[in-house]
Structure 1
Amino acid sequence: MSLGSPHTTRTLRTPGADLPEHPDALWRSPEPKRSYDVVIVGGGGHGLATAHYLAKNHGITNVAVLEKGWLAGGNMARNTTIIRSNYLWDESSGIYEHALKLWEGLEEDLGYPILFSQRGVLNLAHTLQDVRDSVRRVEANKLNGVDAEWLEPDEVRKVCPVVNTSTDIRYPVLGATYQPRAGIAKHDYVAWGFARRADEAGIDLIQDCEVTGFATDGNRVTGVQTTRGTIGAGTVALCAAGHTSVLTDMLGIRVPIQSHPLQALVSELLEPVHPTVVMSNAVHVYVSQAHKGELVMGAGVDSYNGYGQRGAFHIIERQMAAAVELFPVFARAHLLRTWGGIVDTSPDASPIVGRTPYDNVYLNCGWGTGGFKATPGIGSALAHTIAHDEPHPLVAPFSLDRFVTGALVDEHGAAAVAH
């Protein structure tokens, strides 16, 4: 079966244009039907994965995925592709380990190359408190069946020879946690693979379709109002990441998330010299090397709220300084491009998944900087939740009402630097 070229077969729509589809397009560009059993708002990784698993696992195919721009043009196209499951708390490691197991078979499932590379992730420790916290997390991971190791500095050098493990620097490396099964994947290919499979199942992927409101009847949403008309909906799933609060405001639902820019950057193409992913909370940068050779670098979210999808010089300067401190070998590498995503952060740095005050509206947001790695896991769990009208066991702890009951899953600082 020919897959076509991932570089040239995306179907893009120009607003207001009705162009013929390219014969090699990976999916159709249909006009929206009058109604669907399920309407998913958000055509990024989570929305596309949910659609795929609704069809594959539950036989639900009368589904529309609405995307205000082009498919996977938001955070899915603006992340740094790190995949891992070495989170501290049971609830977090559960959903991320579920996702990682799906990642390991995803290329076969989708029948599409995603360049999943299990090159491992190092989380560096620079202080004695870092060491204590890191060892605690390793032991917690082991109890949850997650592969995790504690490495001494000489072992860190063996895994990643280019990291600076000198003892006479500002933040000496005292060791690191290591998850060998972790790694990276090609984000665009992942999205295109999910979109292709969903389309083959008969699901409508509707681009250039911005949601402008909702039609309601009591505690139910009966339709989604869009720039391409009103679309009837039996069930609605909100998977819009940083714009979730814009949608929930239309429904009169208060959701405890804030939207922040998250900036990242890549270098020029280099020879393959960086064999793994390295993350540091103290120096506050993470670095991997993409398949083509560019260094991919990021740090934490910007402190201000906003919807800007662009870089800022002072953030870039700090990221570069941190990267050079950890990797002096890259001191003369040139910056190629920068970008920003819009992440939705919750008070306990954990996602919000499940029911809303509306009987037929489901929420999937608050993933902050961890959304990409969760893609197949939350797709399958949310599809289960929608199909059975009850939370999948792995997402039950992340319900909206935990902010009333106080049963928080506090991952602040417990899962290492933003990623």
Structure 2
Amino acid sequence: MPFGLLKYGLSRRYPAEPHFSAGKSLKSHYDVVIIGAGAHGAGMAYYLAKYHGITNVALLDKAYLGGGNSARNTAVIRSNYLTETGVNFYKESARLYQDLSNEFGYNIMHEQRGQLTLAHNDTTLRNFRWRAEIGKHLGTNIEMVDRQTIKELAPELNLSENVRFPILAGLWHADGATARHDAIVWGYTKGACERGVELHQLTEVEDFTIENGRVTEVKTNRGKISCGCVVQAVAGHSSLIAAKAGIRLPIQTYPLQAMVTQNYKPLLTPHVSSPQLKVFTHQTSRGEFVIGSGADDYPLYSSRATLERKEMLASAIIELFPFLQHAQILRQWGGIADVTPDYSPIMGLSPLKNYYLNAGWGTYGFKAAPVSAKTMAECVATGKPPALIEDFALERFYRFKQVNEVGATAEVH
């Protein structure tokens, strides 16, 4: 290894091959145009090329690769949901995550550390029993745990009864994990570009040409592209892009904020969350504590961070982990979450014949990236949504068949 680094450093030419396709002019036509080069968009490009042989694909981003919500999330992976549809979907995603490093030949820093969700009242306990039974029935590693087990899982957690909301019990999800969000985007894009997909950054979609119920052209700030089909995967901007195609989505967009502390020695293994206190945290491999919450209370297309949210997160996390009252906050950031009424995504076909939707992820987007990308690639290649995502169709809002995951969201992330 030292000799390899020395050779690398003294080389007159840059010896490493570029991970992504070099910047080039847009072609006049692509079989598939994917709007949004985050984990979902890059993953779709990868699976289209690898499993379906579709390589005449343009992966567009108005800014830079993975610069949207993929770079602004807290990297949590879990499958402890409320509905059969949700559990099966996110369970498959957690399974795919486990082998992505081997598939990419690229370390995504996947760590299966488990998730501990805390109950402070009887209502939450009933919700946990429901989720535990659903999860067990569908084959996930999930169970209710008592205070003693909670102490063993997270010894630094404050189990005192002299607090606002004493901890009564917990929901332990052993399949819970984390991964490096940037590495997911890089790995997918690298694999896609190696197979012929073109990455185009700083390419903003401005409008569409629609004829006979089909998108025939994508108009960008760099010119027009004729296309076979279009897929949108733009997270918080989902309703805005869809509106350019004449599609109205039942989505509202909210800011979503988080922050990280200074480094500590390793002392917390699981991801810990409290719906009552509206806070969650886990310690990264670098020693930082990532601290976050649910979306802000009002719609806004802004990724700003606020003092109000920082104060709320600080007071809540100190109740769970009192030693963090001395922690320095290194940085705070925000993203924008596209939230549907039932807090489940919108995937698959749209009212336009060749326009596909990948939207409405709320705070669930990162944990669903592999399974979303894989199933959407199949949907685009075959023109038919796979069984795993049929229930996420836009039509469910007109047929009153929502997939209600509201109770599995927010502070459990």
Please classify the TM superposition score into its range, dividing by the shorter chain length: over 0.9
Q: How does 1:98-247 map to 2 (within 5 A)?
A: 98-247=92-241
**Counterpart for residue 303 of structure 2:** 309
Residue among 265, 274, 279 paired with 2:273: 279
TM normalised by structure 1 equals: 0.93
Q: AA paired with 1:27?
A: F
- Equivalent position amino acid for 1:308 in 2: S
| 1:249 is aligned to 2:247 | no
Q: Distance in 2 between matches of 1:416 and 1:203?
A: 35
Residue identity in the other structure for 1:349: Y
CA-atom RMSD, angstroms?
1.6
When normalised by structure 2's length, the TM-score is 0.95
Task: Kindly indicate which of the two structures has a greater share of residues assigned to helix.
Answer: 2
- Cα pair 1:369 1:418 within 8 Å, conserved: no
Residues 123 and 416 in structure 1, CA contact (< 8 A), matched pair in contact too = no
Check whether the contact 1:43–1:72 (CA below 8 A) recurs between aligned residues: yes
Query: Secondary structure, in 3 states, of the residue corresponding to 2:111?
Result: coil
Partner residue, 2:399: 405
User: 1:417 Cα deviation (Å)?
Assistant: 2.2
After superposing the two structures, state which structure 1 stretch, 64-73 or 167-176, moved more: 167-176
Structure 2 Cα separation of the partners of residues 278 and 22 of structure 1: 43
**Over 6 Å off, 4+ runs:** none
Q: Structure 1 CA distance, aligned partners of 2:381 and 2:408?
A: 33
Tell me the distance in 2 between the aligned counterparts of 1:304 and 1:96.
27
Indicate conservation of the 8 Å contact 1:301/1:418, yes or no.
no
Q: Distance in 2 between matches of 1:366 and 1:59?
A: 28
Q: 1:25 aligns with which of 15, 18, 42?
A: 18
Cα 1:312–1:134 shift into 2, 3 Å: same
Partner of 1:341: 335
Please give the alpha-carbon distance, in whole angstroms, between the structure 2 residues aligned to 1:22 and 1:36. 31
Is 1:58 the equivalent of 2:52? yes
Change (3 A) 1:385 1:364: same
Q: Are residues 1:390 and 2:390 paired?
A: no
Q: Name structure 1 gaps, 5 residues minimum.
A: 6-20
Compared CA separation, residues 418 and 181, structure 1 to 2 (3 A): closer
Q: Distance in 2 between matches of 1:22 and 1:226?
A: 34
SS for the counterpart of 2:261 is: strand
Displacement after TM superposition at 1:416 (Å): 5.9
User: What is the identity, as a one-letter code, of the residue corresponding to 2:89?
Assistant: I
Distance apart, 1:240 and its partner CA: 0.6
Which digits, 9 at most, give the CA deviation of each residue in 1:46-83, with x for residues without a partner? 00011111112211111111000000000000000000
Q: Gaps spanning 5+ residues in structure 2: where? A: 6-13
Distance in 1 between the 2:159 and 2:134 partners? 26
> What is the DSSP-based 3-state SS (H/G/I as helix, E as strand, rest coil) of the residue aligned with 2:206?
strand
CA deviation vs aligned residue, 1:231-254 (integer Å, no higher than 9, x gap): 111010010111111111111111
Counterparts of 1:30-41 in structure 2 under 5 Å?
30-41=24-35
Q: Quote the Cα distance in structure 2 between the aligned partners of 1:160 and 1:416.
A: 21
| Residue from 339, 349, 367 that aligns with 2:361 | 367
Q: 1:414 to 1:77 in 2, by over 3 A?
A: closer
Counterpart of 2:10?
none
List per-residue Cα deviations over 1:355-393 (Å, max 9, x = no partner).
Answer: 111000000100100000000010001001111100111
Q: Of residues 278, 292, 316 in structure 2, which corresponds to 1:322?
A: 316
- Are 2:363 and 2:409, in contact at CA under 8 Å, matched by a contact in 1? no
